[in-house]
Amino acid sequence: MEQDVTEIVVHLVLQLAVMLVAAKLGGELCIRVFKAPPVLGELAAGILIGPFALGAVELGSFGALFPMPHEFAETGAGIPLSNELYAIAQVASIVLLFAAGLETDLKLFLKYAGPATLVAVGGVVFPFAFGVGATVLMGFAGGWMDPEALFMGAIMTATSVGITARVLSDIGRMDSPEGVTVVAAAVVDDVLGIIVLSVVVGIAASGGVSAGSVALIGGKAVGFWIAFTGLGILVSRPLSRLMGTFRVAGAELALALALAFLGAVLAESFGLAMIIGAYSAGLALSNTRLKRELEEPIMAVYHALVPVFFVAMGMLVNVSTMGSALAFGAVITALAIVGKVAGCGLPALATGFNLRGAARIGIGMLPRGEVALIVAGIGLTRGVIEQDLFGVSILMTVVTTLIAPVVLVPLFRGDGSGRRHEGREAERAAAKEGGQG
């Protein structure tokens, strides 16, 4: 029997209440006890109260707090959350990336667009090669062009800009050269990752894919991103003045969020992730007076909604699936770390960053987060990978997502520059001041 609409709404509201309390308790525990970023506590809270753990416990006539949808429980297809809850989590991710775009220094973003592209290319090529090679060499695929091997490679290329953006925002380094490079590279990485995923899905479905279709997919994604971001920057100042003419309370916040939602929808319609469109919308407004006006109200929305996204992401994790293929999972996880740190760090060294800056960028690109989970889910639902490889994907995703914030925060401690020439200039300035003293 179908649920009454009121029942669905009541259940959803209770779920949100529990998620927010769990998120804040987890975040508080991380800050006070483990001296770690609160995002880790939010992810852990999601795993604990999710449908694979406490959320599945029946509460009398009320039922389970976070029950799995029938389709997922029966076939494993889709996601283990209700459509309503997942939709709210996606809205929260849009707010997260819109705020990240607002915090980004536009001039720095444009300055480091070139290095970011090189970092993104390295962050796709290295992990993809490692993922395909390990899957074949450890006997989980019969050849280099097998869909299983290609899919593991595609999963390895993922980067979750949401995790790193949250950490950089928490420590106030979003507008640093490394922070801007990481976020810009993660956006490019998403475009490249979508192209790789589309090619792999095409091969899995038909046994092959044409160069023309690859060029079409890539051209559409890249073209939209450049066009939307460029147009947003061009019209941002007139748009900011127009929003300022409204006298109704909260108009600027509402209209700015509307722009973020519009950007997200357009990005999705062109084959990109919604969060990329939201980030571009925030980036366009980052060089206007609206940035100052929106800073306080947007962060109020951020702190209320964004934890829901990270708790929901933790809920997607089924710890029990990690038991099978554990050795392969450990190898894939190690290669996932090396692939991103080396694949992104080496291009960073070649574009003017020192070892400190390259390490920050490599670790910043490390978390796979929701992006890898989405890719793995596509592989599972299309029948390309089985539960064992899906469990390996989850293990790799969880470990890289948890490691990145823990390592990234200490790397940013202190005021040491991540750029080679800036470091030398600071040393010369210090020496000059010492000589004058």
Tell me how far apart the alpha carbons of residues 65 and 71 are, in angstroms, rounded to a whole number: 17
Contact between residue 177 and residue 419 where contact means Cβ atoms under 8 Å apart: yes
Query: What pLDDT sits at residue 381?
Result: 64
Tell me how far apart the alpha carbons of residues 77 and 74 are, in angstroms, rounded to a whole number: 8
Query: What pLDDT sits at residue 48?
Result: 95
**What would be the CATH architecture of the domain defined by 82-412?**
Up-down Bundle (1.20)
Q: Tell me the CA distances in angstroms from 101 to 95, 229, 297, 302, one per residue in order.
A: 10, 11, 15, 13
Helical ranges in 104-146 per DSSP H: 106-111, 113-137
147, two tokens: 């869909």
Contact between residue 395 and residue 333 where contact means Cβ atoms under 8 Å apart: yes
C-alpha neighbours within 13 Å on the C-beta side of residue 330: 4
Tell me how far apart the alpha carbons of residues 308 and 302 are, in angstroms, rounded to a whole number: 10
pLDDT in tens, 123-135: 999 999 999 999 9
Enter the pTM of the model.
0.76
Helical ranges in 207-354 per DSSP H: 211-244, 251-269, 274-285, 290-315, 326-350
Tell me how far apart the alpha carbons of residues 28 and 38 are, in angstroms, rounded to a whole number: 7
Decide: helix, strand or coil at residue 59.
coil
Query: What pLDDT sits at residue 430?
Result: 43
7, two tokens: 């029942």
Query: What pLDDT sits at residue 399?
Result: 86
Question: Which H/E stretch holds residue 380?
Answer: helix 369-381
Contact between residue 298 and residue 253 where contact means Cβ atoms under 8 Å apart: yes
Residue ranges of the chain with per-residue pLDDT less than 50: 1, 423, 425-434, 437
Query: What pLDDT sits at residue 331?
Result: 94
Query: What pLDDT sits at residue 427?
Result: 45
How confident is the prediction for the chain on average, in pLDDT? 83
Tell me how far apart the alpha carbons of residues 396 and 301 are, in angstroms, rounded to a whole number: 31
Query: What pLDDT sits at residue 118?
Result: 93
Tell me how far apart the alpha carbons of residues 138 and 326 are, in angstroms, rounded to a whole number: 12
Tell me how far apart the alpha carbons of residues 313 and 41 are, in angstroms, rounded to a whole number: 12
DSSP state of 21: H
Decide: helix, strand or coil at residue 58.
strand
